[in-house]
């Protein structure tokens, strides 16, 4: 592909993406492909000769698009939002074009410095504790996901608790970690990866709002200490995946300080809300946290991957993750005056991800981001009112910002039917969870282009799905 061809095809692809984002709400949200259906249309061997670009774009339309579940559709209410936006897509395009490796400061100073800088902006935008700002002993870094952030936090905690012995000699004593019974599976996955084991994770019970009970946490820590175990890490959640519950950070933080445990806070989706002063209550108590993460790739219009991960003591993190082989030695690193982000993460290589975050913040402005967040929360509020006004339905948990957990009062099977019928129709996509062992429907609002008409239509279809199959959307 010559530069001129790149220019020409590039314009074509930009137009394709623009057309896609304009058309996306008309597609059936969930792909209807059967297992194997996409692969069956692809040739079994790679082409020997290069193919014209038009052939690729034709296959995008005819083979790939029917296999896409449309996360950017305003009718996508499943899981969590994973939104993108024009500025993010273009920032990411520049990152692909520059093709730099940001593993060391020296391998592209702007990649490291823009990242540190924009993560400081975010500290100010969300009014996060000062100790996460890079002019303190802490700082921020972009990770691929909250799962990786949690793992890095756990590794730092593990090394702190073992005085670096685990990195040298392996897990040698029974370290214990704590999280709520509503926490994300990534905490357990991190325990396994770090060699500590699932059984060393205590799943602390939750209250009627599905938030961790601090007194139960304190009891568990005591019991473990008495049994000769070494408590080292607590992961609290701001906005659980199932129901959006917020763990009581102030009391948990106090326990962590008293017991000298690493306190990690995962606010993957809900954290963004703190850009609005009126929702900043979700972070009350965050001052005690040793580490914190939230995902602009969930609810801040930055396309995957972009998790902002902060630590109070950057040394604790780098002591857990740093290795300096000869071929990476360089003057800037040895001067001690620069950040080398390879020591803040699992992989060595890293892409210039700060560009897309920078583009989003500058294009929207803080007020622009606030406007969208407020609209999403208002829409969820409205939806929750409709649920409460319908005697056949009920809320299954308090509305949590942009997430509504609800159910038909008729029991699991009717709720399963609602799920199946809405999914099949293609008109909207909900997912489920279980709370108190009952099936619960989740409506999560966060796509950039979701407006009241989409939420209202979703509600009308949900009501209708109680009684009948829904018509298919013809994409």
Site for its own copies in 428-457 (CB under 8 A): 431-434, 442
Q: Is 426 left (phi over 0), alpha (psi -120 to 50) or beta?
A: left
Q: Which residues contact 224 (CB under 8 A, 6 or more apart)?
A: 176, 202, 230, 231
Q: According to CB under 8 A, which one of 179, 241, 313, 422 is a site residue for its own copies?
A: 241
Integer Cα distance of 442 and 432 in angstroms? 5
Q: Which of residues 18-57 bind its own copies (CB under 8 A)?
A: 18, 20-22, 30-31, 33, 35-39, 42, 44-51, 53, 55-56
165 class by beta-carbon count within 10 Å (0-12 exposed, 13-18 middle, 19+ buried): middle
Q: Which of residues 64-83 bind its own copies (CB under 8 A)?
A: 64-72, 79, 82-83
- In this structure, are residues 281 and 305 in contact, taking their beta carbons and an 8 Å threshold? no
CA distances from 29 to 67, 301, 355, 429, 442 (A): 11, 19, 29, 6, 16
**Any bridge partners for residue 76, and if so which?**
429
Using rule CB under 8 A, residue 424 touches its own copies: no
Using rule CB under 8 A, residue 198 touches its own copies: yes
Contact characters 283-302, its own copies, x per CB under 8 A:
--------------x-----
Task: Report the Cα 333 to chain-centroid distance in Å.
Answer: 31
- In this structure, are residues 150 and 266 in contact, taking their beta carbons and an 8 Å threshold? yes
Using rule CB under 8 A, residue 206 touches its own copies: no
Using rule CB under 8 A, residue 97 touches its own copies: yes
State the number of binding residues for its own copies (CB under 8 A). Answer: 153
Q: According to CB under 8 A, which one of 75, 179, 242, 422 is a site residue for its own copies?
A: 242
Q: What would the two tokens of residue 157 be? A: 């905690």
Using rule CB under 8 A, residue 15 touches its own copies: yes
Integer Cα distance of 409 and 41 in angstroms? 44
Cis omega before residue 305 (within 30°)?
yes
Q: How far is the CB of 52 from its own copies (least distance, A)?
A: 9
* Angle in degrees, 0-180, between the axes of helices 109-125 and 354-389, rounded to the nearest 10: 30
Using rule CB under 8 A, residue 337 touches its own copies: yes
Q: Where are the beta strands (DSSP E) in 123-229?
A: 139-143, 175-180, 201-204
| Options 13-21, 230-238, 309-317, 454-462: segment touching its own copies (CB under 8 A) | 13-21
| Options 140-148, 284-292, 396-404, 453-461: segment touching its own copies (CB under 8 A) | 140-148
Q: Which is nearer to its own copies, 65 or 473 (CB)?
A: 65
Q: Which is nearer to its own copies, 144 or 285 (CB)?
A: 144
Q: According to CB under 8 A, which one of 136, 197, 378, 463 is a site residue for its own copies?
A: 197
Q: According to CB under 8 A, which one of 208, 326, 436, 474 is a site residue for its own copies?
A: 326
Q: Which is nearer to its own copies, 432 or 457 (CB)?
A: 432
Q: How far is the CB of 140 from its own copies (least distance, A)?
A: 13
Q: Which of residues 165-194 bind its own copies (CB under 8 A)?
A: 166-171, 174-175, 184-186, 188-189, 192-194
Using rule CB under 8 A, residue 262 touches its own copies: no
Q: Which is nearer to its own copies, 188 or 254 (CB)?
A: 188
- In this structure, are residues 145 and 295 in contact, taking their beta carbons and an 8 Å threshold? yes
| Options 121-129, 215-223, 279-287, 375-383: segment touching its own copies (CB under 8 A) | 121-129
Q: Which of residues 352-391 bind its own copies (CB under 8 A)?
A: 355, 358-359, 361-368
Integer Cα distance of 426 and 410 in angstroms? 24
Using rule CB under 8 A, residue 98 touches its own copies: yes
Buried b (16+ CB within 10 A) or exposed e, 38-73: eeeeeeeeeeeeeeeeeeeeeeeeebeebebebbbb
Provide Rg for the chain, Cα atoms.
Answer: 24
Q: How far is the CB of 90 from its own copies (least distance, A)?
A: 5
Using rule CB under 8 A, residue 109 touches its own copies: yes
| Options 107-115, 217-225, 226-234, 257-265: segment touching its own copies (CB under 8 A) | 107-115
């Amino acid at each position: 592909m010559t530069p001129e061809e790149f220019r020409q095809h590039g314009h074509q692809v930009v137009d394709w993406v623009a057309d896609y984002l304009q058309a996306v709400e008309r597609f059936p949200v969930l792909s209807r492909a059967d297992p194997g259906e996409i692969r069956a249309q692809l040739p079994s061997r790679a082409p020997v000769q290069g193919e014209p670009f038009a052939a690729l774009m034709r296959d995008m339309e005819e083979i790939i698009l029917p296999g896409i579940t449309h996360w950017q559709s305003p009718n996508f209410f499943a899981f969590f939002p994973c939104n993108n936006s024009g500025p993010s897509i273009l920032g990411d395009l520049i990152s692909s074009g520059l093709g730099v490796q940001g593993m060391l400061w020296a391998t592209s100073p702007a990649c490291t410095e823009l990242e540190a800088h924009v993560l400081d902006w975010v500290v100010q935008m969300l009014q996060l504790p000062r100790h996460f700002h890079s002019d303190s002993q802490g700082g921020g870094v972009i990770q691929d996901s909250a799962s990786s952030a949690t793992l890095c936090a756990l590794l730092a905690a593990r090394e702190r608790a073992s005085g670096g012995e685990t990195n040298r000699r392996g897990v040698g004593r029974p370290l214990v970690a704590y999280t709520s019974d509503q926490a994300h599976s990534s905490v357990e996955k991190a325990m396994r990866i770090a060699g500590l084991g699932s059984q060393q994770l205590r799943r602390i019970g939750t209250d009627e709002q599905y938030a961790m009970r601090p007194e139960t946490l304190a009891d568990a820590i005591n019991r473990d200490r008495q049994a000769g175990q070494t408590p080292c890490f607590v992961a609290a959640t701001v906005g659980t995946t199932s129901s959006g519950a917020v763990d009581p950070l102030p009391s948990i933080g106090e326990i962590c300080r008293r017991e000298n445990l690493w306190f990690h806070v995962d606010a993957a989706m809900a954290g963004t809300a703190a850009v609005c002063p009126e929702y900043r209550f979700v972070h009350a108590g965050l001052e005690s946290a040793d580490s914190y993460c939230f995902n602009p790739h969930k609810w801040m219009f930055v396309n995957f991957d972009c998790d902002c991960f902060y630590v109070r003591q950057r040394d604790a993190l780098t002591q857990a993750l740093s290795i300096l082989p000869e071929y990476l030695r360089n003057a800037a690193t040895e001067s001690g005056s620069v950040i080398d982000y390879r020591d803040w993460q699992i992989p060595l290589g890293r892409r210039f991800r700060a560009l897309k975050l920078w583009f989003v913040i500058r294009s929207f402005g803080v007020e622009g981001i606030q406007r969208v967040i407020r609209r999403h929360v208002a829409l969820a509020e409205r939806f929750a009112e409709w649920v409460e006004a319908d005697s056949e339905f009920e809320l299954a948990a308090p509305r949590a910002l942009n997430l509504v957990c609800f159910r038909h009062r008729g029991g699991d099977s009717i709720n399963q039917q609602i799920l199946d019928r809405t999914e099949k129709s293609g008109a909207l996509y909900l997912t489920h969870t279980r709370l108190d062992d009952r099936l619960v429907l989740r409506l999560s609002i966060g796509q950039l282009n979701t407006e009241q008409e989409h939420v209202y239509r979703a509600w009308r279809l949900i009501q209708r799905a109680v009684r009948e199959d829904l018509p298919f959307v013809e994409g």
